[in-house]
Chains A and B, each alone.
Chain A
Amino acid sequence: MTAVLPARPATTPGEVPELLLEVAAVAHAADGVRALTLRHPDGAPLPGYAPGSHVVLTCGDRRNAYSLTGEGAPGEAYRISVLLRPDGRGGSAFVHGLAVGDRLAVSWPRSAFAPVATARHHVLVAGGIGITPMLSHARAAVRWGRSFELVYGHRPGAGAHREEVAAVCGERLTVHESTPGMLDAVAAVLADRPIGTHVYVCGPAPLIDFVERTAEELGWPAERVHAERFSADLDPGEPFTAHLSRSGVRVPVPPGVSLLAALEGAGVAVPSTCRQGVCGECRVAVVSGRPLHRDLYLSEAERSAGDAVMCCVSRSLDDHLGLDL
């Protein structure tokens, strides 16, 4: 096989580049947990990712983030495991309704929970469906010879990927089916691992809180404690209308479309380079309305003056934003 990966298209914030993937397999991973394997319809290899990465699935009219459970080597299929949440907003039900051969839009992998390369030892703590990013961490740790252990707590009989996790981790796995047992085990591990150990936790909020609190009490520096928090992507934002004061033109800016892209779409040329809010090129003077600053370029004083906006990433707090264009 020649191994040429697709080039990721450049996009503006709020737009995440997407792959159109096909469901290649559906499996039962535990009660209420469906494991999906996703491939490129024409077999093209998929981009690699760091352990703990997630993808954003377009589930009908909503977008949900799910952790990838594989090792992350370029070319492998993507695997996700989704717990059905009957009281959720419908994303998990959508995924549970998918069958082999269905196609869906999947973002490029997003990394926000990678292992720290300088760590001497990695303690992975998973509660319930929080096992998904940890499975990825464990696989990659085995592949690259990193020192690790996994503490996995789940309700009796409801452990997703139990056998796979055991096969990957061997001796390095401990499993707990009661909450007190799990918390005691985590506290014991945190109490006596060598300096230079990092801990990673994913699971229900009380478990994350427990790990953070216990680590702090035991004097762990905060940089050694990592909790899964999904995507820090810029959100698509609220719709608004740009009023161009010189030409009198009105340009609607829908969610997920940048002000810059909307202006360009309306035939208004604005210089731009980075389209990421850092280079300073796309600055536009504001004549009315309050900008919602999301760039890295303007100083605090310029922000509060409110008379300029970096239109590649920033939006509007008000329904109308008047621009000197």
Chain B
Amino acid sequence: MTTTLPPRVARFPFPFPAETYRYATNVEPARRPVRTAGGTWGEHVVDVDDDYALDIALRRAVLAADPTRCAQLPHMRVAAWDALTTLLPELAAIRPDVVALHRRGDRWQWRNDLLGTSSSFVLGDDDSVPGGPLAFLGSQVQEDVVLLDQREGSLWADAGLVTFAADWSLGFDVGMRFQEVHGPVPRVHESGVVARAEQFLMRLQPGDAYRRTNWTMTVDRRLDTSTETYPDWGRDRRLVVDDPALPDRLHLRVEVQHLLRLGVSNAVCFLIRTHLLSLRELATVPEWRRRTAAVLSELPDDMAAYKGIERYRHAAASWLAGG
């Protein structure tokens, strides 16, 4: 390993622990750095990288064009405040150099030097915070957020702010049970992956923080690949196959997902942070290049089709293996 890898590579959460990939309830305790062949990731629950200001601006633009990316059923008000008042302190704790939080009773003051903004709000007063607590949270963290209510022996995806979905739609999923949200995913129902995951999540206790990774591929550095914008990005999945720029255009898309039990509301907070690394960047780490080629060529067809990578995955694998 060289020490000159650019931060995007060095901090990349490489998702393949083995030469083949299958779904599993792959959860592990959060807040522990993971060493990879390229560097490290995973020290914190929320993470700020060099794209911070860009990502926040992009989220604002996506939301302005389509407000359904932020959805909240009425009973999730406490959970939304809970998420805000849990995650702002997380951010303040890891980046005291650029953000500052002060509380006096219920009045919170928040300064964000990365965005050059400062705000104040009154805990529990929805009108005191622009767009409500969830929208404000989304204007401060790079992560997408889903909040799940726990009742009647299930988890329900009852609120969220998701602008960077990997081919799904928050507006469609909001109000669904955890099992239904995972309805389209192959294999995970028969193999018990989803049922086990839900049992595990329902047992989380206040302050618990776990994480997992999930992956797919995306053409270009496009974060907004939600179902709603499919017409904008769907055809690139076909066109990229014959494009000589394939190694620069195709990206391994990895989501670092955190799972937290919020203390006050008892909701489960699901954070999704999306990382994109082009094949060319990936190939600068020989172990990643080799392993990704192996995983992509072996991946069963149903999983490749579900991920939407079936047209180009062999082209990607052969570039990685040979190029």
Closest residue of A by beta carbon distance from B201: A278
- Nearest Cβ in chain B — how far from A75, in angstroms? 8
- Note all chain A residues with C-beta closer than 8 A to B152: 223
B31 in the interface, Cβ–Cβ < 8 Å? yes
Residues on A with beta carbons closer than 8 Å to the beta carbon of B102: 1-3
Of all chain A residues, which has the CB nearest B45? A7
Interface centre among B77, B78, B101, B264, by most chain A C-beta atoms within 10 angstroms, is B264
Q: What is the minimal beta-carbon distance from A119 to any residue of chain B, in angstroms?
A: 8
Q: Which of A255-292 contact B (CB under 8 A)?
A: 273-276, 278-280
CA–CA, A73 and B82, complex, Å: 9
Chain A positions within 8 Å of B89 at CB level? 3-5
Q: B136 on the interface (CB 8 Å rule)?
A: no
Interface residue? A247 (CB, 8 A): no
Knowing A1-B103, A4-B93, A296-B200 touch, does A279 contact B206 (C-beta < 8 A)? no
User: B264 contacts which chain A residues (CB < 8 A)?
Assistant: 48-50, 72-74, 140
Which of A1, A49, A274 is in CB contact (< 8 Å) with B27? A274
Residues of B within 8 A of A108 (CB): 205-207
Q: Given A1-B102, A2-B101, A296-B200, does the pair A279, B28 have CB atoms closer than 8 Å?
A: yes
Q: A2 near B92 (CB under 8 angstroms)?
A: yes
Q: Is the pair B124, A49 in contact by a Cβ cutoff of 8 Å? A: no
| B209 proximal to A (CB < 8 A) | yes
> Quick one: closest B residue to A107, CB to CB?
B205
Chain B nearest Cβ from A96, distance in angstroms: 27
Cβ A74 vs Cβ B27 within 8 A = no
Q: How far is the CA of A118 from the CA of B197 in the complex (A)?
A: 23
Instruction: List B contacts of A299 (CB < 8 A).
Output: 192
Verify B206–A109 contact, CB threshold 8 A.
yes
B207 CB contacts on chain A under 8 angstroms: 7-8, 17, 47, 108-109
Does B24 touch A at the CB level, under 8 Å?
A: yes
Structural contact, B27 and A50, CB atoms closer than 8 A: no
Q: How far is the CB of B214 from chain A (nearest CB, A)?
A: 14
Residue B29 CB within 8 A of the other chain: yes
Instruction: Check: A111 CB closer than 8 A to any chain B CB.
Output: yes
Count of residues in A whose CB is under 8 Å from the partner chain = 41
Interface of A is mostly: loop
A162 to chain B, nearest CB (A): 26
Report the minimum CB–CB distance from B23 to chain A (whole Å).
11
Residue of B with least CB distance to A71: B264
Chain B at the A interface: SS class: mixed
A193 at the interface (CB under 8 A from B): no
From residue 114 to 137 of chain B, which have CB atoms closer than 8 A to chain A? 123-124
Alpha-carbon distance A4/B45, docked complex (angstroms)? 14
Contact (Cβ within 8 A) A48 B205: no
Whether the Cβ atoms of A7 and B31 lie closer than 8 Å is: yes
Contact A10 B25 (CB under 8 A): no
B30 sits at the interface (CB 8 A): yes
Hey, which chain B residues are within 8 Å of A7, CB to CB?
A: 31, 207, 209
- Check A274/B76 contact, CB under 8 A, given A3-B101, A108-B205: no
Q: Give 29 A-B contacts (CB < 8 Å), ordered by A residue.
A: A2-B101, A3-B89, A4-B89, A4-B101, A5-B89, A8-B209, A10-B31, A10-B208, A47-B206, A48-B82, A48-B86, A74-B85, A74-B86, A75-B103, A108-B206, A109-B205, A111-B266, A117-B76, A118-B151, A144-B78, A223-B152, A232-B203, A274-B210, A276-B200, A278-B25, A278-B197, A278-B200, A279-B26, A296-B196
B residues near A (Cβ < 8 Å) are 24-32, 75-79, 82, 85-86, 89, 92-93, 100-104, 108, 123-124, 149-153, 158, 192, 196-197, 199-200, 203, 205-210, 261, 263-267
Interface residues of A (CB under 8 A from B): 1-5, 7-8, 10, 17, 47-50, 53, 72-75, 108-111, 114, 116-118, 140, 143-144, 223, 232, 273-276, 278-280, 296-297, 299
Give the top 6 A-B pairs by smallest Cβ distance, nearest first.
A8-B207, A10-B29, A48-B263, A50-B266, A114-B266, A117-B75
If A48-B82, A117-B78, A274-B25 are given as contacts, then 10 extra A-B residue pairs at C-beta distance below 8 Å, sorted by A number, are: A1-B103, A2-B100, A2-B102, A48-B263, A50-B263, A53-B206, A73-B123, A118-B149, A274-B210, A296-B199
